[in-house]
Amino acid sequence: MPLPSNNIPDLAQIPSTSDVILKYIRSSIIDGSLAGGETIRQDEVAQLFNVSKIPVREALKQLESEGFVEFKRNKGAIVTELTEPEIIQIFEMRAILESRTVELSIPNMTKETLEKASLYCHQFQEEKDVSKWALLNWQFHSSLFEDANRPFFVKTIRSLNDRLERYLRIQLSLSHGKNLADKEHLLLLNACRDKNVSYAGELLYSHIMSACKSLRSSLSLIK
């Protein structure tokens, strides 16, 4: 008698232990719970998840390849700290990729996409909780990329945003970056509605580099 096939979970869709640990550590770095320069102790993480050190080591190796941690002799895994030149370069990469992706997206942009972007734009404007700003900002930006049909572009952009999120929290909190972002988001949204491809690309490039300039000023205040 064959085994019943109903209610069988798709194991390919279930994240591995190392994937769960990877997501936990990455999120802790992104939201600032793990600060730059802090040591991630493998035995403590293993104890937290009640596993051996093997999946922890696998997760940390993946985080190393993504640039979130680095291994130092006699210290283990350390949360990386971006230098100012590295931060600038990441912003520049974002500006180039995001402006091009929105240009590719606009000709195919649907009414549903614009409605979703408008919703995220409004939610970002109204949100008072600083801890939610970065996510809403990403949701607004990424919604404008959906119709570009460039999944690799979007994946790369997301990775760049993740590297910068902890620094963007500083920029939005210590400066008037939130108010400026609100105004620039509305301009960008209207340019997308008007199908003004080149203007939207220019706006997004300027928007990102303006945030970079604001962040550099904010970092100089807390040094």
pLDDT digit string, tens, across residues 93-149: 999 999 999 999 999 999 999 999 999 999 999 988 877 888 899 999 999 999 999
* Judgement on whether residues 42 and 131 belong to the same structural domain of the protein: no
| 3 lies in some domain | no
* Judgement on whether residues 20 and 122 belong to the same structural domain of the protein: no
* Judgement on whether residues 153 and 93 belong to the same structural domain of the protein: yes
Q: Is the pLDDT of residue 31 over 50?
A: yes
Determine the average pLDDT of the residues in 154-162.
93
Cα 166 to Cα 105, 150, 154, distances in angstroms: 28, 26, 20
Partner residues linked to 69 by β-bridges: 79
* Judgement on whether residues 95 and 202 belong to the same structural domain of the protein: yes
Give counts: helices (H), strands (E), the chain.
9, 3
| 192 lies in some domain | yes
* Judgement on whether residues 179 and 106 belong to the same structural domain of the protein: yes
Query: How many domains does one find in the chain?
Result: 2
> Which of 79, 113, 129 lies at the terminal end of a domain, its last residue?
79
* Judgement on whether residues 108 and 33 belong to the same structural domain of the protein: no
Question: What distance in Å separates the CA atoms of residue 130 and residue 127, rounded to the nearest whole number?
Answer: 8
Q: Is the pLDDT of residue 175 over 60?
A: no
Q: pLDDT tens for residues 64-106?
A: 887 888 898 888 899 988 888 999 999 999 999 999 999 999 9
* Judgement on whether residues 93 and 171 belong to the same structural domain of the protein: yes
| 6 lies in some domain | no
* Judgement on whether residues 37 and 99 belong to the same structural domain of the protein: no
Decide: 97 and 156 in contact? Cβ < 8 Å: yes
